[in-house]
Structure 1
Amino acid sequence: MRKLYIFLSCLLFSCASIQTLTGGEKDLAPPKIIKTSIDSGSTNIASNFFRFTFDENIGTSKVNELLLISPTQQKNPKLEIKGAQALLTLNDTLTPNTTYTVKFNGCIVDVNENNPMLDYSYIFSTGGYLDSASISGYVKDITTNLPCENCNIQLYASKNDSIVIKIKPDYIAKTNEIGYFQFNNLPTRNFKLVALKDGNNNLMLDNNELVSLAKEIYTGKTIPDTISIFPFYHYVDYKPSLLNTKEPGILQIAINKPLTHVAHLYIDDSIKVYQLSPSRDTITYYYQPTQDTLNVLITIDTNQFSFIYINRLSQYIKPIRLITSNFNGLTIIKSNYRIKGIDKGKILLLIDSNVVSATDIY
Structure 2
Amino acid sequence: MTKNRLLSFAMSLCCLVLAISLMVSCASIGPGPQGGPKDSIPPKVLNMLPENLTRNFATKKVLITFDEYFKLNDQFKQFSISPDIEILPTLRVKGKILEIEFTDTLESNTTYTLNFGKSIVDVNEGNSLKNFSYVFSTGPELDSLTISGNIRNAQTGKPEIEAAAILIPFGRDTLFEKKKASIYALTDSSGNYKISNLREGKYHMYALKEQSSDKIYQQSTDEVGFVKDPIVLTKDTQQVNMLVFKEVAETFRVVDRRLNTDGTITMNFNQQLDHPGLTVIEPANLDANKKYKFSSTGDSVKVWLTDLSFDSAKVSITNGGQLLQTINFNRGKRETYTRSLIAADNLEGNLLNPNHPLIFTFGFPIESVNPAKITLTEDSVKKTDFKLEKDSSNFLAYKFIYPWRAGRIYEIKADTGAFASGFDTRSKIFTKKFELAKKDDYGTLKVKILTPEPNKQYLLEITNESKNVVSRLTVNQDTTVSFTNYRAGKYFIQIVYDTNKNGKWDTGNYKKGIYPEKIFHEPKELSIRANWDRNETITLPKEN
Alignment-derived partner of residue 123 in structure 2: 111
| 2-structure distance, mates of 1:221, 1:117 | 25
| 1-structure distance, mates of 2:187, 2:117 | 11
Among 211, 222, 243, the alignment partner of 2:237 is 222
Among 175, 185, 208, the alignment partner of 1:173 is 185
Say which structure, 1 or 2, has more relative contact order (CA 8 Å, 6+ apart): 1
Alignment-derived partner of residue 30 in structure 1: 42
Structure with larger Rg: 1
Matched-pair contact (CA < 8 Å) for 1:137–1:223: yes
Distance 1:32 1:212, change over 3 A: closer
Q: Deviations over 1:178-203 (max 9, x none)?
A: 22110111112221111122333443
| 1-structure distance, mates of 2:117, 2:182 | 18
* SS state at 1:20 partner: coil
How far the C-alpha of 1:174 sits from its partner, in A, is 1.7
Alignment-derived partner of residue 57 in structure 2: 45
Instruction: Identify unmatched segments of 5+ residues in structure 1.
Output: 1-11, 238-300, 304-362
Tell me whether 1:94 sits opposite 2:109 in the alignment: no
Matched-pair contact (CA < 8 Å) for 2:77–2:214: no
Alignment-derived partner of residue 204 in structure 1: 216
Mapping for residues 341-352 of structure 1, pairs under 5 Å? none
Distance 1:164 1:92, change over 3 A: farther
* SS state at 2:226 partner: coil
Q: Deviations over 1:33-90 (max 9, x none)?
A: 2232311121111334322122332222222333353335565543221211112234
How many residue pairs were aligned?
228
Mapping for residues 183-262 of structure 1, pairs under 5 Å? 183-208=195-220, 209-214=222-227, 215-219=229-233, 220=235, 222-235=237-250
* SS state at 2:77 partner: helix
Matched letter for residue 58 of structure 1: F
Distance 1:50 1:151, change over 3 A: same
Instruction: Identify unmatched segments of 5+ residues in structure 2.
Output: 1-21, 253-509, 513-544
Matched-pair contact (CA < 8 Å) for 2:81–2:182: no
How far the C-alpha of 1:98 sits from its partner, in A, is 1.9
TM-score by length of 2: 0.37
Matched-pair contact (CA < 8 Å) for 1:217–1:223: no
How far the C-alpha of 1:134 sits from its partner, in A, is 0.6
TM-score by length of 1: 0.54
Q: Percent identity?
A: 29
Mapping for residues 60-71 of structure 1, pairs under 5 Å? 60-71=72-83
Matched letter for residue 175 of structure 1: T
| 1-structure distance, mates of 2:41, 2:511 | 45
RMSD after superposition: 3.2
Matched letter for residue 186 of structure 2: K
| 1-structure distance, mates of 2:84, 2:184 | 7
Matched letter for residue 18 of structure 1: I
| 2-structure distance, mates of 1:226, 1:103 | 22
Among 132, 146, 153, the alignment partner of 2:165 is 153
| 2-structure distance, mates of 1:151, 1:183 | 13
| 1-structure distance, mates of 2:236, 2:129 | 31
Alignment-derived partner of residue 131 in structure 1: 143
Higher mean displacement: 128-137 or 22-31: 22-31
